[in-house]
Structure 1
């Protein structure tokens, strides 16, 4: 196992910061590594705490009386200078239960009411979507959405279109569009399974 000698905070931004990690690999090679983190300081980073609390939530939600549509957002992302399809998602606020965070974020991004399902904790534990770049972890929350789409609660810095996609549209999106990888994998389940949440019974 490699050894971490020093972690230094390089930026001071509100939502994400860059940290430099000085380390030695298992082969005794010097390592200079850069990590993006939601942590406010070095002592709060997972590299220090070894505690994996979710920084954010990703919401896999089904919509409609026939439960035949999935709630997606088409969002402009500066990282690629283009639009990408994602699930509604967002950061968990300090002291907030991540299920409550999912309900709040769904409303803020889409205007829809979200009712989370109770599932085996193994399906909603925080996982690391991009561990090579960041220590950010996100919990998945599953459930049903209802109501009317609204942009009233979206932030001015966001450019989000809400999409209620049936299976034909999901096929098109996977073939033709930019898609975030956690979203893409779940959309593949959505295409295959008559009950989109059938896999939640596996554990």
Structure 2
């Protein structure tokens, strides 16, 4: 098993920092590794704390009287210098419950009100996003959205178009557009299931 010898913080940014890991591989050889983290200091990284508290949330919400539309955002991302389809998402603030974070983020990014569903805890378990690059982990919160779309809460660094997507449009987006991986997998489920939230009603004691 590999081993980390030391961790050095390389940047000092508010939302994301780069850390250098001086490590060794399973054979004792030297490894120089770089990790992006939401942690403000090395002692708060997942490798130090060994916890899986969510750094952020993504919101999978259905909209409309028939609950036949999914709420997405079409957002400009500097990393690709282009727009991409994603779920509304954001960071969990200090001492904030992640359900509260989901309600706040959906309101800020879309103007919509979120009614979170009560689901088995493991279905909202924090999961790692891109583990080869970052120790960030996020929870998915599921629910129903209502209200009128607004981007008044959009920050200066954000360019967001809120879209309410039916199954036909979801297919087109998957075929023709740039889509974040997490969002793409859920869209595949959305377009093939009569009840997009059916899997949330199943648990380990009952066949899916």
What TM bracket, shorter-length normalisation?
over 0.9
SS where residue 157 of structure 1 aligns? coil
Gaps of 5+ in 2: 204-208
Residue aligning to 2:206: none
What does 1:162-177 correspond to in 2, within 5 Å?
162-177=162-177
RMSD: 0.6
> How many angstroms apart in 2 are the aligned matches of 1:27 and 1:147?
58
SS where residue 60 of structure 1 aligns? strand
> How many angstroms apart in 2 are the aligned matches of 1:58 and 1:165?
17
TM-score, with structure 1 as normaliser: 0.99
> How many angstroms apart in 2 are the aligned matches of 1:27 and 1:142?
44
TM-score, with structure 2 as normaliser: 0.97
Residue aligning to 1:151: 151
Gaps of 5+ in 1: none
> How many angstroms apart in 2 are the aligned matches of 1:21 and 1:121?
33
Q: Which runs of 4+ in 1 moved over 3 A?
A: none
Q: CA deviation at 1:19?
A: 0.1
Residue aligning to 2:108: 108
Q: CA deviation at 1:157?
A: 1.1
SS where residue 54 of structure 2 aligns? coil
> How many angstroms apart in 1 are the aligned matches of 2:37 and 2:76?
21
> How many angstroms apart in 1 are the aligned matches of 2:97 and 2:10?
30
1:187 aligns with 2:187: yes
